Homo-oligomer: A and B are copies of this chain.
């Protein structure tokens, strides 16, 4: 029975986002998603080629923004790269925190998938920028911890306003990062 208004595609995507956020990508089955929407598993696979397609479509907007930030940083020197990267990443984390949340805890595993191969490289360049292009241990450690910490936790603040959260994160980043030499 076809639905009166076939917005099933969007409903499936939303349900997948919710489930991934709660039980993780690997921990969520197509059956789970189908049940939440109230359709059959076959319907999920009618709208999406496979499980991975759900994830990539869910992440597309955030990834596009990340690529854009990466391009904006390329070629910048230490101080400028650090400032732009910090502000840009915080803004990105705040705007896409619901999408980031659903990857929580599966970055390492998912980044290994071919579809996300370039994200690995981008995040490495972002960390370098966070460190102000410095190779000192303190700068590198601070960069990695702050970046990973934000990525991991920003989804927790779903109840906060964008501006509030952005200010708090920016303050933290400015205190935590080591100024470039």
Binding site for B on A (CB under 8 A): 23-24, 26-27, 104-109, 137-138, 141-142, 144-150, 152-153, 156-157, 160, 164-165, 167-169, 171-172, 175-176
Contacts and interface: CB of A to CB of B under 8 A. Distances in A.
Given A24-B109, A164-B137, A176-B175, A150 B145 contact: yes
B141 A172 contact: yes
Contacts of A148: 148-149, 152-153
A33 to B, nearest CB: 17
A138 B24 contact: no
A26 B107 CA distance: 14
A17 to B, nearest CB: 15
Nearest to A101: B108
Interface-central residue, A27, A144, A145, A171, by most chain B CB under 10 Å: A145
B142 A172 contact: yes
Given A138-B172, A175-B175, A145 B146 contact: yes
Given A104-B108, A146-B145, A148-B149, A137 B168 contact: yes
29 contacts: A23-B109, A24-B109, A26-B26, A26-B27, A105-B108, A138-B167, A138-B168, A138-B172, A141-B165, A141-B168, A141-B172, A142-B172, A142-B175, A144-B153, A144-B156, A145-B146, A145-B150, A145-B153, A145-B169, A145-B172, A146-B149, A147-B149, A148-B149, A148-B152, A148-B153, A149-B150, A149-B152, A175-B175, A176-B176
Contacts of A152: 145, 148-149, 152
A172 B156 CA distance: 22
A172 B136 CA distance: 13
